[in-house]
Chains A and B, each alone.
Chain A
Amino acid sequence: MIEKKPTRDAYGEELVELGRENPNIVVLEADISKSTKTCYFAKEFPERFFNVGVAEQNEAMVAAGLASCGLIPFMSTYAVFGSMRCCEQIRTFICYTNLNVKIAVSHGGLTPGSDGVTHQATEDIGVLRSFPNLTIIMPTDFNMTKAAVRAAVNHIGPVYLRFTRDPVPVIYGKDMDFKIGRAIKLKEGKDVTIVSLGDMAWSSLQAAEVLEKDGISAEVIDMPTVKPVDEDAIIISARKTGAVVTIEDHQITGGLGSAVAEVLAENYPVPMKRIGLKNTFAQSGEYELLLKKYGLGIDDIVEASISVIKMKGYRHLTKIGDHRDYESK
């Protein structure tokens, strides 16, 4: 069994390390420091920790004010609130101003499973991806999270970091090399490319093993930075395999799948399928069971991979639109 750890724990630990190194790092919290793990920073640096209560809009504004004076504020809460409750504050006062605020949020995707839809963040990336100046990262595992939080501090400008509540497989070593905007090829392949976000990388590797048994060679690309997405990695791999599947713990609209589709459509169109929530909200339940129920399981990746491979060269076989006539004026 592979070791599993929540990425929010890595965030909490790394924030303390960074706090020791950099006196300009300050942390804002909205009453859930024990969940987001900013409690570690609060304990060691009480004079640089500000709990603003259950008030995310003000949290974003205070962060903007702190950043305008040269400090590096991390603002933490759950992803669903830290993206959408204070959406316009992020857009106008953090992104338009291009201030050095790090929005570091836990409970990304379906990981707050049993809490239900109110606490699940499944549209956050789609909403935020249209904001100029914003970098969006969902680190894949515990060790990448530490590297990504550090990279966010070294990057001048707003960054959205999305962590998991649940333990997720640790697939990278402690010395992993993370660069913002750079994809990591986890497995070479030639028949299909699977591009994954966050902890979906592990399921993608599992799916690739299943496909291998069927004689299908899948390339697995880990894409922790959704914005700016690694266009080169997508195009180079699509040119080689000729078919692409994306998987993300998010709606299929607006997130990684959309970002990859945009790159392919404009540069190198190939058959493609997006795996994620398909225009539906989920429900309460264990994280792993929710992934299965809503079509984000290993079997779903396998099925989508086989189906895009079948589409290569046979795009004219699609049935969509057959029942409808378009009349020209």
Chain B
Amino acid sequence: MKANNNIVNNKSLDETITYLKDVSRSLRIDVLDMIHNAKSGHPGGSLSSADIVTALYFHFLNIDPKNPRWEGRDRFIMSKGHACPIWYSALAEKGYFPKEELLTLRKIDSILQGHPDMNKTPGIDMTTGSLGNGLGAGVGMALAARVLNKEYFTYVLIGCGEMDEGVLWESAMSASKFHLGSLITILDYNKLQIDGTNDEVMPLEPVVDKWVSFNWHVQRINGHNYHEIISSIETAKKVIDKPSIIVADTIKGKGVSFMENVCDWHGKAPDDKQHADAVKEIKDVKN
């Protein structure tokens, strides 16, 4: 079984993008509701990766919410596990669990842990939260596809802050050693971490050159432009001899003006007024 994701003409692409934008607005509102209700969580990175997650879950991933552990499914790892509110929201929207669960985020006995847990949440392929580690798990999943003769893709969403971690580069080297064409990594490059900008905390540039030198296929896109997200993933899927990374320039807190590009919104919950303002702003956006 292979889902048909081919875009046959420009009109259907436009329709697809209109649909994805609608979905992403709804997911962004879920994120704000969840974090506001939990009184803790990470809105900045959830919102910066919202469009990438939307494109993956509502356009690309070959998955079956009724059978979350289907062996032939595409794998998705959110290595920047703190952005899980956007992931949970997407999973609920896909039908992995009832949407009512979303408001249990971070509460005791919830299936929605503060960071993703593969044994508690249906649809989550790998526990994450400790940074830098998701890519190595993705290498393992892509190797497993080869050993087991499966045709799935493995997608890994990484954050820029976790590029500070040494293990991530161990994984990057191994992915190119094993020619993992089925491994597609997307960098949510919002350029902010907790204590400040990447440049202040640990300069990462030249990011594209780093990945090129690790023998990866590299593309750079605007991570909030669906035309670019879709075409870059389609391109990455066609690369068969090496792993791919899409360096997606994003805005931390994207969609909520007072959160955008503000470090402080990495891991802080909005108060009642901020929450209401934020939700209103997202609802008011026209396609």
* Residue ranges of A at the interface with B (Cβ–Cβ < 8 Å): 26, 47-48, 50, 52-53, 55, 57-58, 60-71, 73, 88-89, 92-93, 96-98
Contacts and interface: CB of A to CB of B under 8 A. Distances in A.
A65 B135 CA distance: 9
Contacts of A64: 126, 136-137, 140
B138 A98 contact: no
B240 interface: no
A180 to B, nearest CB: 22
B40 interface: no
A56 to B, nearest CB: 9
B280 to A, nearest CB: 39
B139 A61 contact: yes
| Range of interface residues on B (Cβ < 8 Å) | 20 to 34
Contacts of A67: 140
Contacts of B110: none
Contacts of B135: 61
B28 to A, nearest CB: 29
A31 B133 CA distance: 20
Contacts of B125: 68
B178 interface: yes
Nearest to A61: B136
Interface in B164-206: 166-167, 170-171, 173-174, 177-178
B140 A63 contact: yes
Q: Which 10 pairs between the two chains have the least Cβ-Cβ distance?
A: A65-B140, A61-B136, A69-B144, A58-B170, A55-B170, A65-B137, A57-B167, A62-B140, A66-B140, A65-B141
B167 A61 contact: yes
A65 B138 contact: yes
14 contacts: A26-B147, A48-B147, A52-B177, A61-B171, A62-B136, A62-B174, A66-B143, A68-B137, A69-B75, A69-B144, A71-B144, A71-B147, A88-B130, A97-B127
A89 B144 contact: no
A97 B173 CA distance: 25
A132 to B, nearest CB: 12
Contact of A98 (B119, B140, B170): B119
A92 B119 CA distance: 12
Given A58-B171, A97-B127, A69 B136 contact: no
A146 to B, nearest CB: 24
B212 interface: no
A70 B133 CA distance: 19
